[in-house]
């Protein structure tokens, strides 16, 4: 008999309490949805924590007779006691990535109200992208142009990119916005092939930010008139690195230097922490844009969920998340 909830069970149950974006005013065409999105999100949390990367692996895991596993299976049934088939899991998990950015943004705005990260400092957020290498081999440009895939391990949906820190890499970008505060809270997220421009993905990130934010900090890739205009619409100031040789000597340089230091102490450490928590410093665990979006954006949502769990159990926020998830 299970006398208390394990950490994994507790996290899965918390899915029922997180805020969800407003549904579309008009239902789309096709067969009505039988199982709610929250049920699919519960399964995604289990899959990420237990490293189950297919619906088949999830179902095999849930066949165990151990009491806590059966407790998890019960949480994945609807109000009428129905449990999705393998094909239903595959289809619904495939559709989920399109809704995850909105869900991450909605949950982020809620966490800001609960955790009050700006109680002791200004209302700021930092935006940036981080590199995630594709699973398997790389698809060199000469082979891509010829339409030749030399090895089946190559993820043909990934792309090449180059940065001053990582150099050339083949894979993906996780675009993030996080709070600049005593605790790093993911506020918005998008996932794209590596060749997507950071400034092109910034507008959807900015639209998900809480209205309280007054300063948005980014590197030189975000220093564009369009993004400044986007920030001005919401009464925000975009502080981005200026191009040109250092040291800069124009007016306001000392103030910008302070802002850039705050940014480097937030988004860059968070990117490293995030990849370390989920052990993705090397490469994504799956192939294909849709599946990589599912697990990368799902991991951001899980990180938010852990922050809420730590808050409710009076634990230090954002501390020792990796061992916590390993113990789940």
The structure tokens listed for 162 are 């180059």
**For the chain, what percentages of helix, strand and coil (3-state, to nearest 5) are there?**
45, 15, 40
Instruction: Say if residue 248's pLDDT is above 70.
Output: no
Give me the phi and psi of 18, to 5 degrees please: -75, 150
Q: Do residues 233 and 257 touch, judged by C-beta distance below 8 A?
A: no
What average pLDDT is seen over the chain?
87
Rounded to a whole number of angstroms, the CA Rg of the chain reads 21
How high is the pLDDT of residue 81? Answer: 87
Confidence band, pLDDT 50/70/90 cuts, at residue 271: confident
Q: Rounded mean pLDDT of 247-251?
A: 55
Confidence band, pLDDT 50/70/90 cuts, at residue 2: very low
The structure tokens listed for 21 are 């974006």
**Of 288, 290, 291, the residue nearest 158 (C-alpha):** 288
The structure tokens listed for 175 are 């675009």
The structure tokens listed for 122 are 């200004």
How high is the pLDDT of residue 35? Answer: 85
Rounded Cα gap, residues 78 and 39, in angstroms: 8
Rounded to two decimals, what is the model's pTM?
0.91
Sequential DSSP letters for 52-94:
--SHHHHHHHHT---HHHHHHHHHTS-TTS----HHHHHHHHH
Mapping DSSP to helix (H, G, I), strand (E, B) and coil, where does residue 127 land? strand
Instruction: Identify which of 31-45, 61-75, 242-256 has the greatest average pLDDT.
Output: 61-75
Greatest alpha-carbon span in the chain: 69
How high is the pLDDT of residue 247? Answer: 57
The structure tokens listed for 291 are 């599946």
Mapping DSSP to helix (H, G, I), strand (E, B) and coil, where does residue 190 land? strand
Rounded Cα gap, residues 210 and 180, in angstroms: 13
Which of 43-47, 139-143, 305-309 is least confident? 139-143
Instruction: Say if residue 3's pLDDT is above 50.
Output: no
The pLDDT tens digits of the residues spanning 160-185 come to 998 777 788 899 999 999 999 888 99
**Of 233, 231, 215, 210, the residue nearest 105 (C-alpha):** 210
In sign, the C-alpha dihedral spanning 262, 265, 270, 271 is: positive
Q: Rounded mean pLDDT of 218-245?
A: 83
Mapping DSSP to helix (H, G, I), strand (E, B) and coil, where does residue 5 land? coil
Confidence band, pLDDT 50/70/90 cuts, at residue 278: confident
Q: Rounded mean pLDDT of 202-210?
A: 93
Residue carrying the six token digits 């399109």: 98
Residue carrying the six token digits 């970008």: 173
């Amino acid at each position: 008999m299970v006398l208390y909830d394990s950490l994994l069970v507790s996290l899965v149950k918390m899915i029922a309490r997180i805020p969800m974006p407003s549904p579309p005013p008009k239902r789309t065409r096709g067969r009505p949805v039988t199982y709610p999105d929250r049920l699919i999100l519960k399964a995604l949390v289990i899959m990420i924590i237990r490293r189950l990367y297919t619906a088949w692996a999830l179902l095999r895991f849930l066949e165990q007779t151990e009491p806590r596993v059966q407790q998890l299976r019960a949480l994945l049934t609807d109000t009428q006691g129905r449990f999705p088939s393998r094909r239903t899991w595959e289809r619904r998990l495939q559709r989920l990535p399109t809704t995850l950015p909105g869900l991450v943004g909605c949950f982020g705005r809620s966490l800001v109200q609960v955790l009050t990260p700006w109680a002791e400092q200004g209302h700021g957020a930092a935006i940036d992208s981080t590199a995630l290498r594709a699973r398997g081999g790389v698809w060199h440009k000469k082979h891509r142009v010829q339409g030749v895939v030399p090895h089946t391990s190559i993820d043909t949906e990934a792309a090449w990119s180059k940065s001053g820190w990582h150099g050339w890499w083949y894979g993906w970008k996780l675009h993030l916005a996080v709070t600049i505060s005593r605790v790093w809270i993911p506020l918005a997220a998008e996932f794209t092939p590596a060749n997507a421009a950071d400034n092109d993905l910034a507008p959807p990130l900015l639209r998900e930010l809480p209205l309280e934010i007054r300063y948005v900090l980014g590197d030189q890739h975000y220093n564009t008139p369009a993004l400044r205009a986007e920030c001005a619409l919401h009464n925000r100031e975009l502080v981005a690195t200026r191009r040109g040789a250092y040291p800069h000597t124009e007016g306001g340089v000392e103030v910008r230097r302070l802002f850039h230091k705050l940014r480097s102490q937030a988004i860059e450490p968070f990117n490293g922490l995030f990849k370390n928590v989920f052990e993705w410093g090397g490469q994504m665990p799956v192939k294909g844009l849709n599946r990589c979006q599912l697990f990368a954006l799902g991991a951001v949502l899980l990180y938010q969920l852990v922050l809420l769990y730590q808050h409710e159990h009076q634990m230090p926020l954002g501390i020792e998340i990796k061992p916590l998830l390993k113990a789940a």
